Amino acid sequence: MPMLKFEDYQYTRPDMAVMTAQFNERLIQFENASSFEAQSLAFDRLNELKEDFYSMRNICQIRHTVDTTDVFYEAENSFFDEQIPHVDALTHRLYEALIAASYREGLEAKWGRQLFRIAELSLKTFLPEIIEDLQEENRLSSDYTKLKAGAVIEFRGETYNLSSMHAMETSPDRETRSAASAAKWAFFVNNADEFDRIFDQLVKTRHRIAQKLGYPNFVPLGYARMLRTDYDAAMVKNFRKQIQEFIVPLATQLFERQRIRLGLDVLKYYDDDFRFAAGNPKPKGDPNWIVENASRMYAELSPQTDTFFRFMRDCNLMDLVAKPGKATGGYCTFINKYQAPYIFSNFNGSSQDIYVLTHEAGHAFQVYSSRNMGLGEYHWPTYEACEIHSMSMEYFTWPWMDLFFLEDADKYRFAHVTDSVCFLPYGVAVDEFQHVVYENPDFTPQQRHRAWREIERRYLPHRNYEDNPHLEAGAFWQKQTHIYAYPFYYIDYTLAQICAFQFWKRNNENHESAWADYVRLCETGGSKSFLDLVALAGLRSPFEDGCLASVIDDIEGWLAGVDDTAF
């Protein structure tokens, strides 16, 4: 019997009254269980209800983001914006019962301590009194997604969206880059009041939620939502300081090398993503050709990745190409009912296509590897650990970059490492900005913009916006989806990047050992905390003294050994 394809996955709007009644019945069974076996069975059945709900939600999310103009799935997305807070309320009651369970010792032995860490921290993020506020937060996040997805950019007789415009922004012709960037940012200028309105309401809504939960502001609530059990804001602040000390000088040097390669007097903001005078490396074929080569790559990488990628292709679990009405960005999600990951991206003919494919495939391979753990909380680890899987996969696939870039493969590898290093200061700038914003919830939009520009000058001192008053005034951050929809997520990419660099080094030294640790990390899913997973994979904590400096020493040495003038 053939495997079911994604287009045949059945979507049914959850009946919330039925679900709630079943949940209440099973929760009573859990609380009144007279044996460990009965309590464990009741817990499993409660988990099944949640998994069924989120399977439908994730199918809806995929179909909505693939085509935000589809009125049916737009309405269904609004339904989930309204109902997810009610499911949070049910989960809150389950976690209260779990913490007080009569047979907690047995449940801990079965599922491990991490489930109880998640429950304990989650209880600090919800009360029934905040349901309407959570609904408002969801609606505002959806407003932002739809606003960006609806961008229509007319440029030199063609129509683009924010994703497809990237190819024009990285044109070898500088005048084209400048004009394309101006056209893109004109969309943000024309919608500046709406971007400010959405974010202002998000900040105020999140601050109101935090105060109702007893927090002074949203910062500690944001950390609790991210389920951070191993580290706190003070440790993150110290990490940002190390990035400023060790990475900003290296990134600044790399931008100076770029300026020299391009033969420019001054590197402008619209030059940042254009790395080489002869043009950035691009895949040498169309999207179908890319997927065919990816199939060969994953077949040769390992038996596990071969099986995984065949499943993704056979079941049509990828939507990769930019098109009108499609949401921007890329993501991976998981549909538990069908034990299926799903990869969403926006191919636009640039090297980003390969970066995004390998990155999201890293997420998908992880959740595919841990899909049978039997617990929704363990499908994924916390986000900073998730990003280790994705970013490390980018490096494990390096030997196959010749398939995609042919003679430009070494150029791609140099650009990849350069991009990764230069991302780190931007990543921590986004994080520091969010701390400032949520510690000062009464800031006006203009004060937020000024705060961003001040932070940007410290972490990205090379940035030159003299041709764009909107960006010079501090509006660049408005393009970053995470700031609106996923608060305090962005630092996770930087922590994971330090771990991925370690896998890069280990893979160069001993592929078999590094790959075995990577697979074990993926198979463990979310059953351990971030730093426990780091240790399991044989990596050093990014917070450990000397870790960041030692990692960057290796990267700096590799970069110094590359003659980038040959590109």
pLDDT tens readout for residues 190-239: 999 999 999 999 999 999 999 999 999 999 999 999 999 999 999 999 99
**397-369-521 Cα angle (round to 5):** 70
- Give domain status of residue 347, yes or no: no
- Residue 565 burial (10 A CB sphere; 0-12, 13-18, 19+): exposed
- Give domain status of residue 121, yes or no: yes
pLDDT tens readout for residues 473-521: 999 999 999 999 999 999 999 999 999 999 999 999 999 999 999 999 9
- Give domain status of residue 207, yes or no: no
Residue 366 near residue 389 (C-beta atoms within 8 A): yes
Alpha-carbon distance of 195 to 172, in angstroms, equals 31
Same domain, 128 and 235: no
Torsion of CA 47, 17, 130, 329, to 10 degrees: 60
* Chain mean pLDDT for the chain: 96
- Give domain status of residue 32, yes or no: yes
Whether the predicted model's global pTM rises above the 0.85 cut: yes
Same domain, 239 and 122: no
pLDDT tens readout for residues 9-59: 999 999 999 999 999 999 999 999 999 999 999 999 999 999 999 999 999
Residue ending a domain, among 92, 118, 133, is 133
pLDDT > 50? residue 7: yes
- Give domain status of residue 295, yes or no: no
Task: Find the domain containing 247 and state its range.
Answer: 226-281+382-567
Q: Count of domains in the chain? A: 2
pLDDT > 70? residue 116: yes
pLDDT tens readout for residues 336-368: 999 999 999 999 899 999 999 999 999 999 999
pLDDT tens readout for residues 144-198: 999 999 999 999 999 999 988 988 999 999 999 999 999 999 999 999 999 999 9
Give the domain CATH number at 236: 1.10.1370.30
- pLDDT exceeding 90 applies to what percent of the chain? 95
- Residue 10 burial (10 A CB sphere; 0-12, 13-18, 19+): exposed
Please provide the DSSP assignment of 495-548 as one string.
HHHHHHHHHHHHHHH-HHHHHHHHHHHHHHTTSS-HHHHHHHTT---TTSTTHH
Residue ending a domain, among 102, 133, 164, is 133
Same domain, 554 and 436: yes
pLDDT tens readout for residues 47-105: 999 999 999 999 999 999 999 999 999 999 999 999 999 999 999 999 999 999 999 99
Residue 274 near residue 177 (C-beta atoms within 8 A): yes
> Residue 148: which of 195, 199, 80 has the closest Cα?
195
Same domain, 129 and 230: no
Measured over all CA atoms, what is the biggest interatomic distance in the chain, rounded to whole angstroms?
A: 77
How, if at all, do strands 158-160 and 153-155 pair?
A: antiparallel
Alpha-carbon distance of 369 to 310, in angstroms, equals 14
How crowded is residue 474: how many other Cβ atoms within 10 Å of its Cβ?
Answer: 23
- Give domain status of residue 448, yes or no: yes
Return the pLDDT at 1: 39
Quick one: average pLDDT of 370-375? Answer: 93
Same domain, 532 and 406: yes
Q: How confident is the model at residue 2 (pLDDT cuts 50, 70, 90)?
A: low
Same domain, 431 and 549: yes
Return the pLDDT at 167: 87
Residue 530 near residue 228 (C-beta atoms within 8 A): yes
Return the pLDDT at 142: 92
354-374 CB burial, b ≥16 within 10 A, e <16: bbbbbbbbbbbbbbbbbbebe
- Give domain status of residue 565, yes or no: yes
Residue 255 backbone phi and psi in degrees, to 5: -70, -35
Please provide the DSSP assignment of 364-417 as one string.
HHHHHHTTTSS-GGGSS--HHHHHHHHHHHHHHTGGGHHHHHGGGHHHHHHHHH
Alpha-carbon distance of 552 to 247, in angstroms, equals 8
pLDDT > 90? residue 465: yes
Residue ending a domain, among 89, 117, 133, is 133
**HSE-up of 224 (CA within 13 Å, CB side)?**
18
- Give domain status of residue 313, yes or no: no
Residue type present at position 488: F
